[in-house]
Homo-oligomer: A and B are copies of this chain.
Amino acid sequence: MTYRIDNLQYANWSEKIFRQMREGGVDAVHVTISYHENFRETVLNFEQWNRWFEQFPDLIFHGQWGSDVRKARETGRTAIFFGFQNPSPIEDDIDLVEILHKLGARFMQLTYNNQSLLATGCYEADDSGITRMGKQVIKEMNRVGLVIDMSHSADRSTIEAAEISERPITITHANLHSWQPALRNKRDDVVRAVTENGGMMGFSMYPHHLKDKSNCTVESFCEMIARAAETFGAEHFGLGSDLCQDQPDSIVEWMRVGRWSKEIDYGEGSAAAPGFPPQPDWFKDNRDFGNIENGLRKIGFSESETAGIMGNNWLRFYDENFGPQQI
């Protein structure tokens, strides 16, 4: 059985997109529900999703466990898993880790580009690693089953998180730095630190993370995956498209600046091209996962390796890491 899981999207959600998930046979999507939101604002985002679950019960439902991915396949729907790209939802309060896990959060980045209370983001000039609070919060995330995501973190912080965490950690959406030397893509020693302890990395189809950006070919993308699989083992990889479908450019500005600066910061963009870049033609929306599956087969992945990368590896990870720590 090949499950299809996209382990990172942040679309401007609509019935249209939920129907495209079904057309694309997507069994589960990990959606970001917080970039800069504090606890109360994050609860508003849970509320919004509860409305959608109530409105579109034939298309989507709230996924909490690996078994919900199987249930999604059996009932012809898409299971929606929640995650945060910043620890802002826990504010300065370690006890909010358990509260948010109970509400359904399953992934939390320790940083989003900037320094957080827990670790250093990839846009800071200097990386001091996991902080005093960070060490405590990692322990608590391990305990309850909230998965650590270091996609937007700096290298030292990521390697330290992998060392300190007693459970596998993730990079939900990024590519190999050796393929496309973007600030957000990951150097080999970082990928190794994450994957060698059972961790997972999801490959991103966000143009700034692709070689030749919007003009990247699916062949080149699958070549990178083949290189990653050869070096670190195919079982540690999946997809995390970072699809931001139908979002206005004001959203990428907010992602970059939040409430922390009165000046604009262009992040991966520039003053000349401040908005979202266009998606490559082989991955416009949730209906296009077949292009990647075909590309993986063509480059020489076996059926079981292809199934792993398309979703089975994430499913195994979900099964093992969303529940309380076994001691």
Chain A positions near chain B (C-beta within 8 angstroms): 36, 38, 88, 91-95, 114-117, 120, 123-129, 131-134, 136, 140, 258-263, 265
Contacts and interface: CB of A to CB of B under 8 A. Distances in A.
A258 to B, nearest CB: 7
B133 A92 contact: no
Nearest to A126: B128
A132 B259 CA distance: 12
A259 B95 contact: yes
Nearest to A134: B115
A262 B38 contact: no
Contacts of A120: 128
B92 A136 contact: no
Contacts of A262: 94-95, 136, 140
CB-CB nearest 9 A-B residue pairs: A128-B128, A126-B128, A115-B131, A133-B260, A93-B259, A136-B261, A114-B132, A92-B259, A114-B133
Contacts of A116: 117
A95 B117 CA distance: 19
Contacts of A140: 262
9 contacts: A38-B91, A88-B92, A92-B259, A94-B260, A114-B131, A125-B129, A128-B128, A132-B261, A132-B265
Contact of A92 (B124, B126, B131, B258): B258
A128 B124 contact: yes
A36 B261 contact: no
